[in-house]
Amino acid sequence: MSLESELENLDLKSCMRKTPVEVEGIPLFSETAENWDSIWHFKARPDDLIICTYPKAGTTWTQEIVDMIQQGGDPQKCARAPIYKRMPFLEYCSPIPSSSSGFEIAKTMPSPRFLKTHLPVQLLPPSFWQQNCKIIYVARNIKDCVVSYFHFHLMHQFFPEPGTWDQFLEDFIAGNLNWGSWFDHVRGWWTAKNHHPILYLFYEDMKEDPAQEICKIAQFLEVELSELVVNQIVQHTIFEKMKGNPCVNYTTVPSLIMDQTVSPFMRKGTVGDWKEHFTVAQSERLDDICAQELEGSGLTFRTQL
């Protein structure tokens, strides 16, 4: 049965807009919470690479860059499957019965595996630390992140109802959304890089100088790239190109789940779109909260280029 016809037979409403369930105080999809024991005991392998982000920080972009690096800059090889099949989403468990969970897909994959997670540092399954796996963390400034997450909630039917922009912003600041507090997330992973091989990247740096950030990733992965291949990767992963690429733009997901007419997955891909959404008062308040929350951490973000 195709996924589309399965969806037609399924009581899809019961899967949609569900309230998150907390795991160790972090709100997660209820299906993730139900499978938490298996996720927590996931067996990492030493040559696994895991890409970690708070949602909407540029995960898909980084995934495609990593795959392009691994494939020697060959776009045909990257077109072998949609990104979510090439790099399983560790903790994602679909409410659709025939869809395998991220950790189950990962189990069957040959090494070296490339995985994705949005888990905060304290919820990463311990075997990743024990196996000393390489980790790429990507952070994005809070204002663009929350705007992107708002639109994603509007279009993705498995997320809770976002409510109005004003309500959503309050929920985000309070850490009530899936995967919890942005502040704890970016700080937690920032600290973890002091004792673990973590390449900590920023979305804004990737926008400003993609070639430089691609080279950083390649070096971290111990892959040598010629200038030509670096340029091929830059061209292939530029926003406009990725927007039209079905292997990364999530148009392969049925519109009953991700309604791209509400908001495309590849929405704007810019730094500073927050200015179209924030009032001056909201912006100043978030600046104050950010300054307090990040004080002494050494972490700074750019909200415009």
Task: State the catalytic residues.
Answer: 118
Q: How far is the CB of 154 from ligand A3P (least distance, A)?
A: 11
List contacts with ligand A3P (CB under 6 A): 53, 55-61, 144, 148, 151, 237, 239, 242, 266-269, 273
Of the pair 128, 137, the CB lying nearest ligand A3P is at 137
β 26-28/21-23 pair status:
antiparallel
Contact 186, 180 (CB under 8 A): no
* Dihedral class, residue 73 (left if φ above 0, else alpha if ψ from -120 to 50, else beta): left
Q: Which is nearer to ligand A3P, 216 or 267 (CB)?
A: 267
Q: Please state the closest distance from residue 149 (CB atom) to ligand A3P, in A.
A: 8
Distance in Å, CB of 2 to ligand A3P, minimum:
25
If we measure between CA atoms, which residue out of 241, 202, 238 comes closest to residue 58?
202
Provide the minimum distance between the beta carbon of 23 and ligand A3P in the complex, in angstroms, as a whole number.
21
To ligand A3P, the closest distance from the beta carbon of 49 in angstroms equals 16
Residue (44 or 266) nearer to ligand A3P, CB = 266
Nearer to ligand A3P, 57 or 135 (CB): 57
Q: Judged by CB, which is closer to ligand A3P: 10, or 79?
A: 79
∠ at Cα 150 (146, 155), nearest 5°? 145
Counting beta carbons within 10 angstroms of the beta carbon of residue 41, is it exposed (0 to 12), middle (13 to 18) or buried (19 or more)? exposed
Beta bridge partners, 22, equal: 27
- Beta partners for 136? 51, 199
